[in-house]
Chain A
Amino acid sequence: MATRKIEVSAKIPTVTKHITQESINQFEACGILDRQNIHNSPELAKQRLGTTFPIASGRMSVVYATEALRKFFGPQVFNHTGTVNLKFLRPVKSGDTVTVTGEVSARQPAEKGKGTMVTVSLLCQNQNGDQTAVGVGTAVVP
């Protein structure tokens, strides 16, 4: 996977996830601090955001994008050279379905002449087609 030539406009695998409050709570349970926050506490979401619902951590979308990029580049490449940079545009909440898509937007020689830096434009959308996050991912392929 890593040694093949990756063309600009190549599409990365699509990753789709259905979000539930259970999955949000489970994600929050990964921390080493037991914290109530706007993701797992409706009361705090109401107090701090003024919403009647908790929102999913944006980091969940980062993880979904990471999965799509890992599948595209391969874990040997992505887990050692990968980056993800996402800007969050809309909240994701329980009941939503998030789909991550991406397309190679650039290739350029990596620093120190070690391979090729491949840049992927990333888009996260909900079930209504609304953009929830945009950004880029990169990896250095040999």
Chain B
Amino acid sequence: MTRPRSNQATTPAAKPKLKIFNYDTAKIGEELGSYEYLLTQEMVNTFRAAVSDPEAAFPTLGVKHDATSLAMVYEDNVGGVNAGNEVEFFNAPIAGKKIRVTGRIHDKYLRRDKPYLVIEATATDEDGRLLEKLRTYQMKKPDEVGKKWQPAK
């Protein structure tokens, strides 16, 4: 279900076998996948077209650094719903530069009997410039909210 797009991802040379994600055994502070990729002008253009903003400066948001870090380590057969995002911007990425991403599990908790997983990613470029920090709050029972969203027949 998940594979690198051609000519974009520069993942670690030997791709490890993915583990099946288990919320109960996931550990706060656990490191997720670290990776590098080349930000191309084509990626910038695709992102700007997708969001209809020719000046959008952070195409990295479309790359979903944190979710990618998780997907490089785990096969997540349950999935989740994004309940929230926190992002800090430091420097806009530059097309033609490599971007290095590190990810980790920042937190996990139960709220109203629903399990939440907070994943975090930090991105720097090949020159060591800090670009952005991103956190995503994933609710790991997606069907719980999905049934509220589906209009009654």
Give the interface of A toward B (CB within 8 A): 17, 23, 26-27, 29-38, 44-45, 48-52, 55, 57-60, 62-64, 66-67, 70, 75, 78-88, 90-91, 135
Q: Taking A33-B68, A58-B82 as contacts, is the C-beta distance between A83 and B147 under 8 angstroms?
A: no
A44 contact from B51, B59, B79, B88, Cβ within 8 A: B79
The residue in B37, B51, B56, B78 that gathers the most chain A C-beta atoms within 10 A of its C-beta is: B51
Neighbour of A83 across the interface among B58, B78, B88, B137, CB < 8 A: B88
Q: Is the CB of B53 within 8 A of A33?
A: no
Flag whether B12 is at the interface (Cβ < 8 A): no
Kindly provide the distance from the CB of A81 to the nearest chain B CB, expressed in whole angstroms: 7
Q: Which residues of B contact A80 (CB under 8 A)?
A: 89-91
Residue in contact with A26 in the complex, picked from B9, B46, B84, CB distance below 8 Å: B46
CA distance A64 to B48 in the complex (A): 11
Q: Which A residues are CB-close (under 8 A) to B88? A: 82-83
Q: How far is the CA of A62 from the CA of B89 in the complex (A)?
A: 12
Closest B residue to A50 by beta carbon equals B146
Interface range on chain B: under 10, 10 to 19, 20 to 34, or 35 or more? Answer: 35 or more
* B positions within 8 Å CB-CB of A: 1-5, 8-9, 35, 37, 43, 46-47, 49-53, 55-59, 61-64, 68, 71-72, 78-79, 81-92, 137, 142-143, 145-147, 149-150
- Asked whether A67 lies within 8 Å of B143 as measured between CB atoms, the reply is no
Q: Tell whether, in the assembled complex, residue B64 and residue A75 are in contact, meaning their CB atoms are under 8 Å apart.
A: no
Q: Is the CB of B68 within 8 A of A79?
A: no
Min CB gap B65→A, angstroms: 9
Question: How far is B39's CA from A60's CA once the two chains are assembled, in angstroms?
Answer: 19
A135 CA to B84 CA in the complex, in Å? 9
B62:A62 contact, CB within 8 angstroms: no
Determine the distance from Cα of A60 to Cα of B143 in the docked complex, in whole angstroms: 21
Contacts of A29 in B (CB 8 A): 46, 50
Nearest 8 Cβ contacts at the A-B interface: A30-B62, A49-B146, A26-B50, A27-B50, A58-B82, A32-B9, A50-B146, A87-B84
Chain A residues positioned under 8 Å from B1 (CB to CB): 35-36
